[in-house]
Structure 1
């Protein structure tokens, strides 16, 4: 079926990652960085060139496009979605993508910083990529495959379907979002304009993986107010909010309830930012649990630590604000079993063993599911994301393209 097809996903990825689209968690604008629109505008133009005449970039950085149906069947409208922004965890400026052909299993030393080495002993997935072609950055930046790999896979799948009109499918919607990495990927999405019945994000890792479950997630902002006075006359008067914040952080469990001590279905309390002065200090946390009720338990636990610490500092006060971020999409997807069943069939038709996974994080699909667009997550092949050691197998990326094409066929056949 794909014999002789000139896949474009890898070359697209290597072009797209050179466009800096890093989002900014401290920005209140939408999108959080205007530079995300640079890639969005390019994608809209490329979709137009492929014949998706309604393709456009809106003022908030979202790209919408439609590939019309070519079947008489009443097939549900499917959306394929990926985000254009890259994570703030490492630089996304000046990315130099490198193609390592026929990877031989040895350590990969990245040329612009020889201290950045991809070792199979530390990145076991590399061992499964021997003989394949690997794309990395050059050592000073992340690659940006998260989630430009998903973008590239969707674009290539659209190209395949346009160039193979004999392949019957229902109406397909394309959605590229900004700001997923800062938790605002769906903040301004217009689902009415999108007009889809269901969706799939392309934002996963290992080949063959299908993710129908995520953490439920809250954010916590804790504000500690101390008592300020001149340090030269502070005895018995000064209550230092910074020191209180340090005590709260030190009181968190050392062997549990943190990202570095948990795995699988275990949740955590994770401090992400501290900012302030001795008079007032703010701590930010993310709270994660696969069971939504577990969020409240962890928030109560955190507040208990705060109250216990403040008992030792008379005069200090606190405010704790909890903000809902996203919820476990499995709560929605379990109501729509065909969405998962068809994705399983598509992965198997692509010749891959199915790997059902739970995401220790969230995707746009989490929020979209609760907004009325049931939306599990499909693999792209990306690995070691948010780091300078990020890499992806070209062959994995091509399998993601194949899976999308098979998936639209499955939906058409079964409608």
Structure 2
């Protein structure tokens, strides 16, 4: 009887949410269980964009070929963070497929472009092989059309502008191939500019070639992505671009002092003034400076335990112990930490400049408790509702903010 009454109470709340668009619902007064049900409904009925999912490179490492799909993400997979069933469970509709170019490829002329082409082909093959589940998307309108059909859209962004090689005409080439943002650098400085991860800063920001690249990206309609770049490259790009920029998978440096890969308050404010969007990375080292120390301590203990007990990682006894010890000494941040980053951006520059950029399939096992894969997005939405975010706020974070930038870039290019 109590369960029946509880269901009726929840139904009444749900009904009150839907009776009038002018009725404001105070989600903060709901129970956690009620909020999570509302969050699941919002996730299912709202377009959700993730700025960065590393599935293409995971497919490459997993043995995906153009002839045969060894890694089949049309069904639930035993590892990784993304597949179709889990995307549908979590309400993820448009994960930007990262066409990732490792910095090592920069040393071999032509290797970066060749890898980019192969990863684009893999992504296209995924949509062609499972047309009832996936579809390519090259514009906000494409995502909306695919959403109406129940399909997961696969827009693409190139992570590392090294794929352009030294040929400015490749900007237009990759636009024609479907690339809709380019992350200017990655782990090392390249021909375009300096990287946040690289101690060497040969250009002092953007190179002259990099300035041409940003202008050409504006011209053809590719979003400028400033994740991974050095602070100087970031500022130089903002000074040149004629349209809003994005950071496809970055978090707030306030919570990770000294970690230049994340964005300082100064950069967040400059991006907001430009009209851009910062998409929050979920990786442990991105959202919590204590994560690295905590995880190292757990690893050290487990390595010593193996040695002392003459065990290997494959031994069932070790796996049982490791799982128990890691749970008791959990080094992982929580979903609340991710919400803290969103709060910080909103408090600093407003709700119009933040989105999701998980880095799923790209940050290993460092993901927060409650956000281990794409099925868990409702946990984050529920936490935001608990903090007083409205349904309209959630919609902006899920897709409206990035759609605004994406459309502005398209509109400028059409001129």
TM-score (norm 1): 0.26
TM-score (norm 2): 0.26
Higher relative contact order (CA 8 A, sep 6+): 1
More strand by share: 1
Pick the structure with greater CA Rg.
1
More helix by share: 2
